[in-house]
Chain A
Amino acid sequence: MAGRFFPHEDRGLEKKIYWFFGIIVTGLALLLLRAWNLQVVNEDYYLNLSENNRLRLVETPPPRGRIYDRNGALLVNNIPSFNLYLVRGDIPDREALVNRLAHYSKIDVDRVLEKLEKEKGDPYRPMKIKEDLSMWEVAQIEGHGLELPGVKVEAEFKRHAISGMLAAHLLGYVGEINQRQRGSEKYKDIKPGTIIGQSGIEQNYDAILQGVPGEKRIEVDALGHERQVVHERLPSRGDDIFLSLDLKVQKAAEAALAMRPGAIVALDPRNGEVLAMVSHPAFDPNVLSTGASSEAWKALLDDKYRPLTNRVIQGLYPPGSTFKIVVGTAVLETKKASANHEIECRGFIRFGKRNFRDWKIGGHGKVNLHRSLVESCDIYYYEMGLELGVDIIAAYSRLFGLGALTGIDLPFEKAGLIPTKAWKKKAFKDQWYPGETLSVAIGQGFVTTTPLQLATMVSVVAAEGMWYTPHLLLKRRDDKTGQITEIPAPPGRRVPVSPAALKVIKKALAGVVSEKKGTAVKSQSKLVSIAGKTGTSQVVGRAANSEIEEDLPESLRDHAWFVAFAPVDAPTIAVAVLVENGGHGGATAAPLATRIIEAYFDQNESASPVETQVAAPL
């Protein structure tokens, strides 16, 4: 290394480079001093903090978004609740602890122990054991804190349906994500312990309502009890949603059906918006949302009236005579008979070796299409059904939205069944017998539909040929900005049926309520003109027309149907009413529909400001 030369000595460059080096070395020394301070001087302090795992990150659940009806009436919100948590990592002896805890709070010891045993994840994640503690329980647990390591009570929120069981199936309930859901693709980003919607709107729009969890970094003592909050990031509430539901119509429908098992759904036939949806018996979502006991669950699941089923979208019933709307349309469209064509109804027809009877002993006499709907003559449809054949009936049923999911924004909808020859071959490996067509023609036999499907069916007549997907979500409101986003309605489709045919049907449906011989004449309203169709569908398993209705045990009595819309000229509401084992549709179901329709129009009058129609004469 001969003769180093420094060409920039004249600039004093080298000197400055050494100064530069000096500054860096000083910096290194200072940092090293800092490390010495942390690692050697304060080692014990930090070691203590780390070994006892005293600083923890706890997730704080976000309040869910609120649910409103179309007019902004609050349906579901959140109210404060004290919840009980256990931290596995802080519990020295699980069995002893849970038994001790049972002195102060009503808990199921075995179930809690099983839950603790099953969880294999992070031992310091607090696990929720019980919701909605009473003040007495809170006081007991907090007061005996020293005997209860790893037990904590958090002040949080619980889901609260304002009107309890009102629209319970539609709104749904919430609950902790379960093992099965945790394994599924849909919930793969959701952490264990998260509260998610478990049915109804709560489930379908969980992503909107969910919100973002907050975080709390806490320092705990040796018993795992919180000593201080080091830092907290508050959770952010989920977005609010506005449903098409109309609380006043819903209340009228709930009251109308009262204690009877059955279903009611009301739609706006102009766009498919659901105005009311009732399924009875119902459950109390406020009980299920706060973690019902296993006995309570068992009782609900074993109840023969199946209170957890949303009959509107999951209940499958033969449509009975309401199905004549479809068959009647098919008759006109296929020109098997003109609107004026008459048949002779003598109260029965003989087919094969059997007599098929009309509901009216002695028959209706001369019957055309109009009368066949107004008086609900079965013989007309037996004859026309044979003319049409089952496959044509099926094709028209599908045009009216039967036999397929409507696509409503609720989970677990059922499609029902519209039989065809091909279906029978596939399902039973047997041919279709013409006698079966007779049953199908009056909405019996294999035909099953949901009340919602029948509401869309009658809406097609009301809307003069338009079929709209029934839906509930109208708007969402961003929780931070308050900005409201309208959700575009699903598009409707035009049913390829001539307006002339629908006009005939519509006129006949109006006659059902307005004409003297109409099956629902007793349900006329002074307030508004109503059109509709009654139905009385036989419970499966009972021999046709074998006994007198009133003598039967309740569970075998007929289901009562009424599908309707109003006002006749420019319908704004369509209703389907089903009363299980209610007997005759005209007597049982139709009056309920009228009550709901009247409530709807009554409200429309009071809700809109009174307009001055005539200019003041001054």
Chain B
Amino acid sequence: MRVDTRMISGFDRFLFVVLFLILGIGVLSIYSVTSEAGGASLQGTALYLKQINWIVLGWLVFLVMAWIDYREMARFAYPIYLVTVLTLALVPVLGRTGMGAKRWLTLGSFSFQPSELAKIGILFALAKYFSDNGPKKGLNLGQLLLGSGILIIPALFILKQPDLGTALSVSSIFLSMVFILGLRSRFLIYFSLISAMVSPFVGQFFWNNLKDYQKKRIFTFMNPAEDPTGTGYQIIQSKIAIGSGGFFGKGLFGGTQSQLKFLPERHTDFIFSVFAEQWGFLGVLVLFILFFLVILWGIEVASQSKDLLGSLIAVGIVGLFSFYFFVNVGMTLGVMPVVGVPLPLVSYGGSAMVTTLGMLGLLLNIKVRRMIR
């Protein structure tokens, strides 16, 4: 199984340009909000440089994930999944606490979030399970339940950390795959009837498992005016920042950061607000087109894959990537609840950057092997 550069199409090459543009936008935006005059400058300089380091590491992972045949990787899907679940189970015991949640595991001087590993683990386990067992006429009850079991075990651990954003986002992998596989029609009717009856109880269970701040965020989304925690105010500030950017924007350092300094997560979760204020609707349009191109490429990979495994992996990645984009941008525009997920490739944060680039590498992997037997 040899791979050579001829297998990389023109669109693939073009995509590298797209990715570099998105990454550049991210670094520039981080630089602009963390290097303002005052106490933040020392830390700020370090932040955008750190982000560049993470991008470099991300590209290395991209290469690895593109190089090893995804079918070889899928052979280890279940062991990877088991390791994922085990590390997640270790977090409450050995984890490091940061910002009120236990999300990190430390190995020597290296610390990582097992929930990032979980994205890969769930992706492979589901793709492998569905491609091995997926019937042509859609999933039956047993397959659907086993598949959701694969999702729910790690998802509950992640929810417990607590990390509502990641728990919801891994669900998007599952839902995307189920969507393209379809359900058996007769079963579908039963299932929707049953789930309609059961959902209040499941909902209750999940609601009880949410932390107070997560509940408040959802309340706030329902009714931002009566806001007990200030997240409604974050949304208002974010809307002011974006709206005041107008059509052409205020320029790189022209944004009134005096507004945004009320956003505690302006270089992470609210980076889109920063960008939209600086570059206006025109900038937003360009960013949307860039993300559209990445998604389009993923869809092409999914539809051209020569086996079901590849298609499922690609669809899962596209689903996850889009989910992040919708929830994050929707939040800053005030149309989605504040659940604290990053904007992929743009927000500051190492673990998410590495995972995202790794998954994009996986897409390229599937793409270049579409013609290999």
Contact = CB atoms under 8 A, between A and B. Distances in A.
A297 to B, nearest CB: 32
B299 A20 contact: yes
A559 B25 CA distance: 78
Interface string A387-411: 0000000000000000000000000
B245 A39 contact: yes
B37 to A, nearest CB: 12
A17 interface: yes
Given A39-B245, A43-B244, A17 B233 contact: no
A355 interface: no
Contacts of A231: 227, 230, 232-233
Contacts of A484: none
A137 interface: no
Interface stretch (B41-49, B67-75, B235-243, B349-357): B235-243
B97 interface: no
A47 B246 contact: yes
B247 interface: yes
Interface string A216-236: 010000000000001101000
Contacts of B227: 231
| Prevailing SS type, chain A contact patch | helix
B307 interface: yes
Contacts of A354: none
Interface string B300-342: 0011101110010001001100100110011001110000000
Contacts of B191: none
Interface stretch (A8-16, A368-376, A423-431): A8-16
Interface stretch (A22-30, A105-113, A170-178): A22-30
B182 interface: yes
Given A20-B315, A42-B243, A55-B236, A13 B308 contact: yes
A46 interface: yes
A27 B322 contact: yes
Contacts of B333: 31, 34-35, 38
A1 interface: yes
B84 interface: no
Nearest to A49: B240
Nearest to A3: B371
B136 interface: yes
Interface in A167-215: 215
Interface stretch (B14-22, B102-110, B201-209, B281-289): B281-289
Nearest to B308: A8
Contacts of B258: 53, 124
Nearest to B330: A31
Interface string A29-59: 0011011101110110111011101010100
A28 B288 contact: yes
B63 interface: no
B179 A16 contact: yes
A38 B332 CA distance: 11
A1 B7 CA distance: 9
A352 interface: no
Nearest to B326: A27
A136 interface: no
A18 B298 CA distance: 11
Contacts of B326: 27, 31
A5 B242 CA distance: 45
Interface in A412-428: none
A350 interface: no
| Prevailing SS type, chain B contact patch | helix
Nearest to B335: A34
Nearest to B280: A39
A17 B292 contact: no
A419 B248 CA distance: 80
Contacts of A16: 179-182
A30 to B, nearest CB: 8
A255 B260 CA distance: 59
Contacts of B111: none
Given A42-B243, A47-B246, A55 B322 contact: no
A251 B96 CA distance: 53
B242 A35 contact: yes
A57 B247 CA distance: 28
A305 interface: no
A6 B304 CA distance: 6
Contacts of A28: 288, 291-292, 295, 325
B195 interface: no
A137 B37 CA distance: 39
A351 interface: no
Contact of B243 (A6, A43, A215): A43
Nearest to A53: B258
Contacts of A43: 243-244, 246-247
B242 A38 contact: yes
Nearest to B137: A11
A10, A16, A53, A231 — most chain B CB neighbours (10 Å): A231
A482 interface: no
A42 B242 CA distance: 10
A304 interface: no
B229 interface: yes
B243 A46 contact: yes
A101 B189 CA distance: 75
B195 to A, nearest CB: 20
A35 B246 contact: no
Given A28-B292, A46-B239, 4 more contacts: A18-B303, A39-B243, A47-B243, A217-B230
12 contacts: A4-B304, A7-B307, A13-B181, A13-B311, A27-B326, A31-B326, A38-B333, A39-B284, A50-B244, A50-B259, A53-B256, A55-B236
The 8 closest A-B pairs by CB, nearest first: A46-B243, A50-B244, A38-B243, A39-B281, A43-B246, A16-B180, A46-B244, A47-B244
